[in-house]
Structure 1
Amino acid sequence: MFEKLFKIKAAGSSVHTEIMAGVTTFMTMGYIIFVNPNIMANAGMPFDAVMVATCLASAFATALMAFLANYPIGLSTGMGLNAFFAFSVVLSMKVSWQVALAAIFVEGVIFILLTLTKIREAVINSIPKTLKVGIAAGIGFFIALIGLIGCGIVVDNPATLVSVGDLTSKPALVAIFGFLVIVCLECHRVRGAVLWGILASTLAAIPAGLTKVPASFVSMPPSIAPLFCKMDFSMIGTATFWGIVFTFFFVDFFDTVGTLVGVTTRAGMLDEKGNLPRASQALMADAIGTVAGSVLGVSTVTSFVESASGVEQGGRTGLTALTTAVLFLLAVFFSPLVAMVPSAATSPALVMVGIYMMMSLRDLDFSDFSNTIPAAVAIFTMPFTYSIGNGIEFSTLTFVVTKVLGGKVKEISPILWLLALLFLAKESSSWWLPAVAAMF
């Protein structure tokens, strides 16, 4: 059955490998089940209901990705977008979370329409190889930074922005142990090295006091009634509402594009022209997931860069995503068990995945500066601005500028010119958007 649905043998994989990859992806994504409710609680939303809604939205969207696109990519509520939802829209702009959910619903509908018209697919396929390589490597650096921060090896410093944390702390030691386990297994070409590293780190975290074995592994999920279908469209006629929609739209669009390009490039899924097969189906899963998420009561659903962990474990088909989706559903009932995995256990996995993705740099043409510089900009800006979307924006603008300065204007596609203009409009919106809002 699985072979007929997902064409596993044609992808050079096996059912066992796909399932192991799906478990690995879930283990590295699982933190969202608890992080998202913590963030959304700042907007006045009930923690328990958000946790269940997060699991349901993630399971639904990831299953869609499996069946529509047959890609090993997991989806959930996007980090950064949930913070924008809670802290910027609700707390700073004084907009209710119900109105914010309505804005996300509208954004999702717009995404569906754009996907039907092939616009999003055209954007993905217009990205030149040098940017695809740079985006993949930049995501790798970004993931590694997230992992190092998660275990306290990298900490903030008012004087130098970042510095080394306490390497003798329990989280750091557990993470280092897990990383060494993964490295050892990888050196011996053991399948599932990342997953085994997470499990080994979790076991080490128990005597370290970073986690504990729960008294019960199963619990009944709370109701999502306080969130379900609570969108409020009362502000849809205001410039403020559409400004919120635009921000969600812009960040979600390019975070999704970046993740799809980065993960599929690393997995070797691009065709001979460097284009992404079944791009429309993958983007449709993402768009429908966002609409469904707003109905369930969570912020924007997007493709997760942590999917790269499953890809590195051999995941190549939708069975990997389906496995992740099933685990998200089970997490509704097994939340105590999921909560047992500390961030110190997932951190080494993220660092190793980051290293895997940096390997795409071997495909970069270093002999042509007009190709090297845009890729380098993507690599630098993603971790340093803590945003995949920013990396795509700045590297695209750099690509256009360097090609113009290098006398290679013909290498700039019409879509890249349009993207550059949109990026410039976004960066200048701080002065024109308030002026438009003042007119209404």
Structure 2
Amino acid sequence: MISSIRQITISSMEERGTNLLREVVAGIALFLSLSYIFIVNPTILAESGIPAGAAFFATVVTSAAFTIWMGVYSKLPFAVAPGLESSSFFVFVVVVSLGFSWQQALGLVFWSGILCVLLTLIPIRPKIIDAIPEGLRAAITASVGIFVLVIGLVVTDVLTFENGLLTGIGEFANPKLVLLVLGLVISVVLAWKPLRFPAGMLIAIIICSIVARPLGIVADTPAAEPEQFTQAIGRLDIFIIFTDPRAWAALLIFFMIDFYGSIGKFIGLTRGTNLADIPEIKDPKAALYVDSLGTVGGSLMGTSTIITFVESSIAIKQGGRTGLVAVVAGVLMLLSLMFAPLVQLVPVAAVGGVLVFVGLLLQPTTELIDAAYGTKDPGSRLDYFDLIIIVVMGAIAFLTFSLDKSMLFGFVAYSLKQAVVNKGRVNPYLLGSTVALGVALGFQYLWI
């Protein structure tokens, strides 16, 4: 490993026009920008019954190990960690709505990671992703963002759902609403371009946690005690897919969040930089392995789907260009283990504003504006049909508190569009994805 790191620091830095100091600074900025996840993720996962200490340990160790491996193996400045979209789906849909245990939910995460690894090995993954129209990719991203935003509104009692349907709006005198607005405002202000503070969301969570006490909002998350650290390791139930057909719909959603997001992030994060043309981005197989195996490793440790974080863009904007950035960030992640007591001090409502902010960040704003105004810019890739599908998919995610129905609508819509435009011919990979999602969703409702 030491020789691999040495290779990164010498040849890659010269080749990509950077230096040691710039890489280290970018790694520190990357760590600060996503450090909020080490508080938010355990706080959310604890709602499913996973011991808070176990969720904290799994989040930190898995993120650190696979971020370091991302740097060493793929030589790219990307960090990986549990995604809020998958963690929210894990808790509020798979465990709370569908009634699976957290051990069974971890089993579904495990199989989704295995599926990603297999499709990367074949290799069929790029073909499936290439078959997804640009508009559908934007719609999936927007729907995931809306889902995360809704979680922020749910944990602050702004919205209430029952049996998968929106049932009402909470009281506006609710003190949790103060935390929602405060967290959102702080996150937005500190992310404002002139400031661009890398730890803005972490600061928002800390301030909201302090303000929560005089408002009478107390954290109900158990203490993240060191003796709990290993209590979720190996506790997953991998046999659930053989005993409950409903599990397949949830498995496919976990899979799609991980599968379709990774290559898009690799391309999007490096677009406009000298990384865009390097072999590791043109054929990101090494990075895909890390991303996929991270999900498998995370499920074994006790956390939800591991994804490549968009906060990696902060490191790239700081001038980070090599895997040394990820190695520095990963080492700093390990040091976060000493902050376990902080998890107990954070009410879940204190992360509501950050969840809403993350949901807004996931919206493909530029593409939506281009589609809405019919921009003639050659770079504009979406049209009115895409805009309609994005809006409808977002509305379904919002009103039904689910991603499966939203995604199925999108896949069916674009399959029908291809069939009409191409006189009955539909890309087999797009059609296969549509059928698989439809069958899985059908299983879920047939066996409720």
**TM-score (normalizing by structure 2):** 0.71
Residue 256 of structure 1 and its aligned partner are, at CA, apart by 0.9
Indicate which of 267, 291, 294 corresponds to 1:289.
Answer: 294
1:422 and 2:436 equivalent?
yes
Indicate which of 42, 45, 52 corresponds to 1:36.
Answer: 45
1:396 and 2:428 equivalent?
no
CA distance in 1, matches of 2:442, 2:285: 30
CA distance in 1, matches of 2:335, 2:260: 29
Alignment of 1:218-297 (within 5 A): 221-222=226-227, 224=229, 226-229=231-234, 239-240=242-243, 243=245, 246-247=248-249, 249-260=251-262, 263=265, 267=269, 269=271, 277-296=282-301
* Secondary structure of 1:334's aligned partner: helix
The root-mean-square deviation of aligned C-alpha atoms, in Å, is 4.7
* Secondary structure of 2:36's aligned partner: helix
Counterpart in the other structure of 1:381: 396
Deviations 1:347-390 (A, max 9, x none): 33333343343314347545544443333344333444444454
Q: Give the paired residue count.
A: 412
Residue 116 of structure 1 and its aligned partner are, at CA, apart by 0.9
1:156 and 2:171 equivalent?
no
Cα 1:62–1:392 change in 2 (3 A) is farther
Counterpart in the other structure of 1:118: 123
Counterpart in the other structure of 1:199: 203
Alignment of 1:59-208 (within 5 A): 59-69=64-74, 70=76, 72-76=78-82, 78-79=86-87, 80-81=89-90, 86=95, 97=103, 105=110, 108-152=113-157, 154-156=158-160, 161=166, 163-185=168-190, 189-192=194-197, 195-196=199-200, 198-199=202-203, 202-203=206-207, 205-208=209-212
Matched-pair contact (CA < 8 Å) for 2:218–2:347: no
Q: Which amino acid is 1:147 matched to? A: G
Cα 1:104–1:27 change in 2 (3 A) is closer
Cα 1:182–1:141 change in 2 (3 A) is same
Q: Which amino acid is 2:57 matched to? A: V
Cα 1:203–1:167 change in 2 (3 A) is same
Q: Which amino acid is 1:303 matched to? A: I
1:361 and 2:367 equivalent?
yes
